[in-house]
Amino acid sequence: MGKRQENTTKGGNPMRNDRTTGAGNQSTVPRDPAAETARGTHRADGGTVTVLVPAHNEAGAIVETLHSLGRQSRRPDRVIVIADNCTDATEQLALDQGAEVIRTLGNTDKKAGALNFALGGLLESADGDELILVQDADSQLAGDFIENAVRHLGADPTLGAVGGVFSGGPGGGFVGHLQRNEYARYARDVKRLHGRCLVVTGTAALFRVRTLRSVSLARTRGTLPAGNGHGGVYDTSVLTEDNELSFALLTLGYTILSPADCTLVTEVMPTWHELWAQRLRWKRGAVENCVQYGWTKVTRPYWGRQFLSMLGVLVTLAYVGSIAYAVESGAGVHLHAIWMAVTAVFVLERVVTVRLRGWKHMLLAATMYETVIDLFLQAVHAKAYADALFNKKKVW
């Protein structure tokens, strides 16, 4: 995976039972999912739960994240922090909280590479019914997240992953406020769809060991993209590993779910610059995942969303361009009935969809102040399409 790793460092973990075996420096041995199904029965309780927390210089958030795991109504059996190229106190803080720590040095494959390293050891010896929760180091789970996720996964043997529905954390000023509104709308949409989602969020997702093995095996056999030839569960060649893993699960015939009762809080980007970088990576990654998988029954809805997104960019450019031309030419801007009707519909949508945040935010949304982030995101989308089209070097 283009990296050097050090052996597991372990801490006494009050958040787990007396299991002390850590992940070693090993590669995943793919197993046949059909054989896995045959040798084990489907267990409603899901077996043991191991939490993997990939962390790169997360000293500011790791303690709170681990505290949220310690407060779970269904407490995890193991908590492993993957200290990936850390130069701050992340590793020591995790050990102080009782978590196990795996240290990677020289990992050039970011989060995907760190997770593949840890999973390479875990999947080797784990039972197919055991569960693995992958969680970002800057996200805190609601107290019943694991309990609810285990229940959902246990109720449906075809379910490949249970993801979370996230809200935005505090801070970030005006740009943070806009992201919290955006996440509230996302939560509303997922709830209305009864948990059906297009992507299992990387902020927190629960998987069966058996499922992750089937993904790794499919990459080895060439059924799924191999990720720079390294294989493993996560494709290390992409910008959005959670989006690609969702494609992989759906391609293998699994379903994915983000139930309304699996909630968490995640960090918001504190500046416009950081939000631009995040959303540009998300958008370009989503576009390139579509190209990577091609036109299939699985990817058709994703291609449809990209088509609508491109149409939105063109309409926005035309709208803004017509206003600029009218002002520049001296013709003035005239209010036509059709545009007034479109504006009224837009305002109504802004008000209704932010209802989860309360009536004050609903009244504020009616002022159309969020137009600023709508235009911002259209610019991000335009840049992502241009970068993908001209194959501009990826930077993360």
Query: Pick from 251, 270, 289: which residue ends a domain?
Result: 270
Residues 13-31: pLDDT tens digits?
434 333 333 333 333 333 3
Do 150 and 225 lie in one domain? The reply is: yes
Do 254 and 304 lie in one domain? The reply is: no
Can you tell me the mean pLDDT for 235-255?
Answer: 96
pLDDT given at position 382: 95
How sure is the predictor about 9, in pLDDT bands with cuts at 50, 70 and 90?
very low
105 pLDDT above the threshold of 50: yes
Residues 254-278: pLDDT tens digits?
999 999 999 999 999 999 999 999 9
Q: Is 7 helix (H, G, I), strand (E, B) or coil?
A: strand
Residue 291 lies in a domain: no
How sure is the predictor about 7, in pLDDT bands with cuts at 50, 70 and 90?
very low
CATH number at residue 14: 3.90.550.10
Query: Pick from 249, 270, 291: which residue ends a domain?
Result: 270
Tell me how far CA of residue 284 lies from CA of 295, 319, 333, in angstroms: 17, 24, 35
Residue 321 lies in a domain: yes
246 pLDDT above the threshold of 60: yes
Question: Mean pLDDT in the chain?
Answer: 85
Instruction: Kindly tell me the number of DSSP H helices and DSSP E strands found in the chain.
Output: 13, 11
Pairing of strands 139-141, 78-84: unpaired
The dihedral built from the CA positions of residue 383, 386, 389 and 395, taken in this order, carries a sign that is negative
pLDDT given at position 45: 54
State the DSSP string of 130-164.
-EEEEE-TTEEE-TTHHHHHHHHHHH-TTEEEEE-
Can you tell me the mean pLDDT for 276-295?
Answer: 96
Residues 325-362: pLDDT tens digits?
777 777 666 666 766 776 777 778 778 778 778 888 88
Contact partners, residue 174, CB within 8 Å, separation at least 6: none
177 pLDDT above the threshold of 90: yes
Domain range for 334 is 300-389
175 pLDDT above the threshold of 60: yes
Residue 87 lies in a domain: yes
User: How many domains are there within the chain?
Assistant: 2
pLDDT higher at 332 or 179? 179
Do 225 and 348 lie in one domain? The reply is: no
How sure is the predictor about 365, in pLDDT bands with cuts at 50, 70 and 90?
confident
How sure is the predictor about 50, in pLDDT bands with cuts at 50, 70 and 90?
very high
Do 254 and 328 lie in one domain? The reply is: no
Query: Pick from 270, 289, 315: which residue ends a domain?
Result: 270
